[in-house]
Amino acid sequence: KNQVEQSPQSLIILEGKNCTLQCNYTVSPFSNLRWYKQDTGRGPVSLTIMTFSENTKSNGRYTATLDADTKQSSLHITASQLSDSASYICVVRDSGGGADGLTFGKGTHLIIQP
Amino acid sequence: GAVVSQHPSRVICKSGTSVKIECRSLDFQATTMFWYRQFPKQSLMLMATSNEGSKATYEQGVEKDKFLINHASLTLSTLTVTSAHPEDSSFYICSAGTLQAFFGQGTRLTVV
Encode chain A (114 residues) as per-residue pLDDT tens digits: 889 999 999 999 999 999 999 999 999 899 999 999 999 999 999 999 999 899 999 999 999 999 999 999 999 999 999 999 999 999 999 887 667 889 999 999 999 999
State which residue of chain A sits closest to B49, comparing Cα positions. A99
- The answer to whether residues A96 and A2 touch, using CB atoms and an 8 Å cutoff, is no
Nearest Cα residue to B23 out of B92, B91, B110? B92
The length of chain A in residues reads 114
B90 in contact with A at a CB cutoff of 8 Å?
no
- The answer to whether residues B34 and A104 touch, using CB atoms and an 8 Å cutoff, is no
* Banded model confidence at residue B67, pLDDT cuts 50, 70, 90: very high
CA distance readout (Å), A84 to A4, A61, A111: 22, 10, 8
Q: Which residues of chain B lie closer than 8 angstroms to A49, CB-CB?
A: 99-100
- B-facing residues of A in 70-89 (CB < 8 A) are 89
B46 in contact with A at a CB cutoff of 8 Å?
yes
User: Which residue among A43, A99, A109 places its CB closest to the CB of B93?
Assistant: A43
- The answer to whether residues A46 and A58 touch, using CB atoms and an 8 Å cutoff, is no
Nearest chain B Cα distance for residue A107, angstroms = 7
Nearest Cα residue to B67 out of B109, B4, B102, B103? B109
Q: Which residues of chain B lie closer than 8 angstroms to A46, CB-CB?
A: 1, 100-102
Using DSSP's 3-state secondary structure scheme, residue A84 falls into helix
The sheet carrying B76-81 orders its strands as: B4-7, B19-25, B76-81, B67-73
Over residues B37-52, mean pLDDT: 92
What are residue A60's phi and psi, to 5 degrees?
65, -125
Task: List, as one string, the DSSP characters of B49-100.
Answer: EEETTS--EEPTT--TTTEEEEEEETTEEEEEE-S--GGG-EEEEEEE-SSS
Query: What is the per-residue pLDDT for A73?
Result: 98
B14 in contact with A at a CB cutoff of 8 Å?
no
Q: Which amino acid belongs to residue B57?
A: T
Query: What is the per-residue pLDDT for B110?
Result: 97
Query: What is the per-residue pLDDT for B72?
Result: 83
What are residue B42's phi and psi, to 5 degrees?
-120, 165
Nearest chain A Cα distance for residue B39, angstroms = 11
Q: Which residues of chain B lie closer than 8 angstroms to A91, CB-CB?
A: 101
Q: Tell if the CB–CB gap between A43 and B108 is shorter than 8 Å.
A: no
- The answer to whether residues A94 and A31 touch, using CB atoms and an 8 Å cutoff, is yes
CA distance A69 to B25: 36
Q: Tell if the CB–CB gap between B59 and A91 is shorter than 8 Å.
A: no
Query: What is the per-residue pLDDT for A98?
Result: 64
Q: Tell if the CB–CB gap between B46 and A42 is shorter than 8 Å.
A: no
